[in-house]
Amino acid sequence: MVNIKDIKKAALLIAPHIHRTPVLTCKAINQMAGCSLFFKCENLQKVGAFKMRGATNAVFSLTDEEAARGVATHSSGNHAQALALAAQLRGIPAYVVMPTSAPAVKKAAVAGYGAEIIDCEPTLQARESTLEAVVDRTGAVFIHPYDNERIIAGQGTAALELLTDHPDLQVVMAPVGGGGLLSGTALSTRALASDARVIAAEPCGADDAARSLEAGHIIPSVQPNTVADGLLTSLGQLNFPIIKKHVKKIWTVQDDEIIAAMRLMWERMKILVEPSSAVCLAAVLKHGQELENQKVGIIISGGNVDLDHLPWIES
């Protein structure tokens, strides 16, 4: 199982290639929340998301021989861009399987980082079989977006930095989709601040992680529906045991609460965050009575939004 040594090793390995993102505070939001929030701004990370950490760790951990064959993944989100850029930084090929339904702007971003895009039908089965064919053809190493130890170790470096800057945090929060960020965050927090609680947050419309934690086994995400489109996936096999062991609770929030928290962060903190990144603040504002007067770290996962279609503006 991944441990804090892997995370510290990842931190050293990726440091030359990523941003050390700032931790921001906002008095007005603290007053509304009744606690002191410390936001780790991974929206200001390269490619606009924490995904750069795990992808960079995975790519730079490869042997020269493995690396020469390149890396491959299926994703229409931030992981695809992150893997493409990390591969570009190492000077190796990247192959990204994307559904034909993916927005042109996302394909352009991945292609802009020099990756080869392979189209597939927009079904999970088509994604997996297309990926398999690509790996067979190229010999590239498949880098799963979250169910991968090096990805988990890389994502854990965000909380490592946060707790290095603010060792007295009493709670650390992260949103949960597949569980890559959350499992890495939990491991770093347990190691660096053993008394701090790890709390996750997810949309009511994609609450498979909350139900899985309650049931004690992975319950897959079926037809999730939420504005927080980074949190649709089911928990990974490597991620769930870590989450089960270290995460106290998973709060759920409605989409209108997510949008309100997102707008609040834009207005008061002057940063772009994507809906998935506002889920933790929405949860604090809704469920946070028990956080009163505590010091709470929140990982802001990313800032990739379509500026022509903001969720609070009718289009």
Contact positions vs a copy of itself (CB under 8 A): 19, 22, 24-25, 27, 43-44, 46, 48, 263, 266-267, 269-273, 303, 307-308, 310, 312-313
* Distance in Å, CB of 48 to a copy of itself, minimum: 5
Q: Which is nearer to a copy of itself, 179 or 302 (CB)?
A: 302
DSSP secondary structure code for residue 45 in this structure = S
Secondary structure (3-state) at 71:
strand
Q: Kindly report the number of other CB atoms within 10 A of residue 136's CB atom.
A: 9
* Paired sense of beta strands 295-300 and 36-41, if any: parallel
Q: Which is nearer to a copy of itself, 48 or 275 (CB)?
A: 48
* Distance in Å, CB of 111 to a copy of itself, minimum: 14
- Kindly state the tokens that stand for 21: 């993102």
Phi, psi of 94 (to 5 degrees): -130, 135
Q: Which is nearer to a copy of itself, 181 or 186 (CB)?
A: 181
With tokens 């772009």, the residue in question is: 272
* Distance in Å, CB of 305 to a copy of itself, minimum: 9
Q: Which is nearer to a copy of itself, 64 or 314 (CB)?
A: 314
Phi, psi of 222 (to 5 degrees): -120, 120
Is residue 196 within 8 A of residue 168, CB to CB? The reply is no
* Distance in Å, CB of 22 to a copy of itself, minimum: 4
* Distance in Å, CB of 313 to a copy of itself, minimum: 7
DSSP secondary structure code for residue 49 in this structure = B
* Distance in Å, CB of 131 to a copy of itself, minimum: 28
Q: Smallest Cα–Cα separation from 110: which of 72, 89, 83, 142?
A: 83
Q: Kindly report the number of other CB atoms within 10 A of residue 198's CB atom.
A: 25
Q: Which is nearer to a copy of itself, 162 or 213 (CB)?
A: 162
Q: Which is nearer to a copy of itself, 142 or 266 (CB)?
A: 266
